Each structure stands twice: as structure tokens, then as C-alpha cells.
Structure 1
């Protein structure tokens, strides 16, 4: 699989594996199947209204059509935005295939980025333009990815269980500031994909051990960094 190197806003070089055409298509098929199921439920609801409530159908036909169009738009477009923002750049299909959408600088998606990339999905990808673009571009991007400055990568295994950092007694015993908590968590989540992570580890360990002089904190920091 092809690798790509990104520089984060913190000037940290991070290496990701690009998602290939096969995995992206497979993820898209899964998402389309979910959307298709939701649309079938909508169609069944309309049929039931026609059969069992014909008077209601005749009286509120315009409203039913308008609401159906709105629901269809939500399923076709807002589905991706909602999933990506609530699943950290993933949809159910991407989660199963272990893919994630991020920004070109390695940061998570925002509403603006997700809205732009998926707008192109609705109007162009259904015509096959997205597949062609992924196949022939160096970074395997859709047109929407170019417009939104996003990229789809393969998820790397988290080297240290995040729950140990957020809930475990060892991490809680450190009593770090909220900012340092996040700094430490980010390091352990990313250390497998950071280029020259050992240098960053030494700098982070030096910074924390000099800031917190409590012997128990220093011991637990040593246990965490040696894990």
C-alpha cells in the first residue's frame, strides 16, 4: 500500500497509509446498502399510508411528497456528514474497512470539510467520476477530497489502549493538567505513525518530568513511557 507523509500544525511529520480503490469502493458499497435499507423503509411507509390511510394520502399528498424528498436528501447527503462528524472521520463502511477521512494536515474533519467533500459525492460520484479520480490521482483522492482538502487513510492500530490513558488508575494517578493530559494521549495514539517518534518521546518525557516533580508522578510517567 502507498504511504504518504503529512506535517501537522505542530510541525510533526506523520506517515499514513493511503486507502486504495478497492477498500474505498467496498466501504462505499456498505454505506450504500445502509442507505438503500433506509430508503426501502421510507417506501414501505408511503405504501402503508396509501393502503391504510387513503384519505390522509389525498389530503396531505403535497406534504408527504415534500417530507419524502427531504428525508431522501438527509439519507443521501446528511448521512455521510453526520457519520463522519460523529465517528471521527468514518462512516459504518469505513469503520468496517478500517479507513478514516482526515484533513490534508492530519487534523480531524470539520463540518465545512465534510459538507464540501460529500456535496461532490452526491453530484459527481454517482456518475463514476469519483472512482476514476481515485484511480488516476497520486493521493487516491476524489474530486470532493481535492475541493475539501481531505484524504482517506488506513487506520493504524493504537499502540497503547486509549482507555488506559483516560480511565486507568495509572494514568489518573498522574494528576496532569487538562492540556498535558491531551498532549500525552495524542502522543500515544499517534506514536506508531510519527516519523522519528523516539525523539518526540524523549522531548515529551523531559517536558513532563521537569514540570511535575512529585515522585509518584515521575514513577508512573516512567512506567507509561516504558510500556
Structure 2
């Protein structure tokens, strides 16, 4: 469930535990800049790969006119051409999927501009959502380019093809300006937002103003009880403890106790949550030192 303030870019997502998580929508300019950076990087990678394969072909004495001939050199040249085609396909199609399916949910362009993708609902970002939004990007951006290129190659009416492609792009490019959340068609279909990314490191982000000392903790949790949650839930718990709202404390304490199968005395919600917070944080930080990161409760 999301609460929206039409006067600003601030949005609030309500988790199943009843915790309000504030988000800030990315600006249209930041999104456009991120896309241009990614396209520039994709283009640079394509050019670098092309020149590398040309250099390899030249280094082993292969020539383009041998591609239709028979023999070892022709087969080697054909293999390099196949490698080039595969590389161009991956740069073109897998760039956004690879990075947006990562733990940061952001391509290099998005990371430079300080934004990331996020699910609009209460659940985590899914693989299906990332695939859906990137399939729609093909329709929005790349298919018009292919359409115009095909018309030029075929020698047909390039003016008509150019206008058709321009109108095609304009319809989709202007779509974010006609909704208050700056959603492109891919976001609408996939159920995603593009939001400003938090720039804090784990150790800086996870701190309660007055934590309970280890010796004063009334509850001790086994590693398997702590393993059900990750960094995302830890940050959510931090917000609850910082706000100190009674209703939220009760709801989150009940949700955690049901999840791990532990009970606590009435009135001990905050002590229960602070103890769980400190021990979960310690376990996650230990995992980071060992090179194991658990982003959220869904991560293995």
C-alpha cells in the first residue's frame, strides 16, 4: 500500500507490519541522465568489443574477404563474427537486466545519478518485474530505431519512416510527464518506481540512538532465528525503534515473534525489538566481514 502526496516527490510505502517507509521519487532529469549514461556505456562497450575482435582477426592474419571461403581461416573468421553478434546482443539486451537484478537495483547510470528501481507495492523487487520493464523499453526506445534503420536499408521512404519513428518515440518518451509519479510505460506494467537511492553504508545506517547494552539484553536469539531477516528488515526495524511509536512497536514485535516462534511478556515490546535488532545487526555485520551479504529476508 502506498500513500502519495501529489505536491511533492515524497511517497510512503506501508509494509505488512504496518511500518511506514519513506521514499523519494527520482526526478525525470535524473532518469534521463541515467539512461544517457547507460547508452553511452553500452555504445562504448560495443565499440571496444568490435575493435578488440578486429585486432584479434588482424593479429592472426584473417581478412574479411575470406569469410565466404573454405578452410581454417574462414572458419576462424566466422567464429569471430558469431562472437561479435552474441556480444552485441548481450550488450543490447542484458545490460539493464544484469545490473537491475543485482542487490543495488541500479545500472551504472542510475548509480551515478543516485537512483534505483523499487517495487511500488510492499513486496521486494522481483525478477519478473525487472524483465517486464526492460521488455517494454525495447518497444519504447530500440524498436523505433530498428524500424528506421530497416527502412533506410531497404531504400524505402525514409522521411515517412523517420516521422513514424519519431512519433513512436515521442509517445513513450513523453509518457512520464503525464502522470504524477513520473512512471514510464514499463514502470506501469511492471509495478515499479524509480526512487532516490540511500547513500549510507550499512554500518552508518544501522544505529539506534540509545541501544540496549549487550549485558542488559533480556532476550537471546539463536542464529537460525536471526537468519530469517536481512539488511532491509534491519533498517525497517531501526526506523521503528527511532520513531518509538507504540502501535508500530506492538505490530512489529508481534510480526517478528510469529515469524521466529518466540513470545515476549506484555509491555516488553521495545526490549524485545532492541535485543533482536542488536543481535541481528551483529550477525549481518559478521556475515559482511566474511563476504556474505543478506540483502533481505528473501535472499538465500
Gaps of 5+ in 1: none
TM-score relative to the length of structure 2: 0.57
- Aligned pair partner of 2:117 in 101, 108, 114: 101
Structure 1 residues 129-208: aligned runs within 5 Å: 129-156=171-198, 161=203, 174-180=220-226, 182-183=228-229, 185-190=231-236, 198=245, 199-204=247-252
Q: For residues 219 and 183 of structure 1, what CA distance do their matches in structure 2 show? A: 13
Work out whether residues 102 and 150 of structure 1, in 8 Å CA contact, stay in contact via their aligned partners in 2: yes
8 Å CA contact 2:25, 2:196 repeated in 1: yes
Q: TM-score, normalised by structure 1?
A: 0.73
More deviation in 18-27 or 173-182?
173-182
1:54 alignment partner, SS class: coil
Moved more, 6-15 or 22-31: 6-15
Q: Secondary structure at the match of 2:111?
A: helix
Which structure's relative contact order is higher, taking Cα pairs within 8 Å and 6+ residues apart?
A: 1
Match of 1:38 among 31, 42, 45: 45
User: For 1:187 and 1:106, how far apart are their aligned partners in 2?
Assistant: 12
Q: Secondary structure at the match of 2:174?
A: helix
Q: Deviations over 1:95-154 (max 9, x none)?
A: 222212112214332221111111121231343555312222222111111121211111
- Runs of 5+ unmatched residues, structure 2: 1-7, 68-73, 143-168, 208-212, 266-270, 279-300
CA distance in structure 2 between the aligned counterparts of 1:11 and 1:104, rounded to whole angstroms: 16
SS in 2 for 1:139: coil
2:80 corresponding residue in structure 1: 64
Question: 1:102 and 1:220 mapped to 2: Cα distance?
Answer: 28
- Equivalent position of 2:128 in the other structure: 112
CA shift for structure 1 position 88: 3.2
CA 160–39 in structure 1, closer or farther in 2 if over 3 Å, else same: closer
8 Å contact kept, 1:4–1:17? yes
Q: Counterparts of 2:117 and 2:84 in 1: how far apart (Å)?
A: 30
Corresponding residue for residue 290 of structure 2: none
The answer for the alignment partner of 2:157 in structure 1 is none
Distance (Å, rounded) in 2 between the aligned partners of 1:74 and 1:87: 20
Say which is worse superposed, 128-137 or 48-57, in terms of deviation. Answer: 48-57
Worse-superposed segment, 179-188 or 135-144: 179-188
Equivalenced residue count is: 215
CA distance in 2, matches of 1:3, 1:192: 20
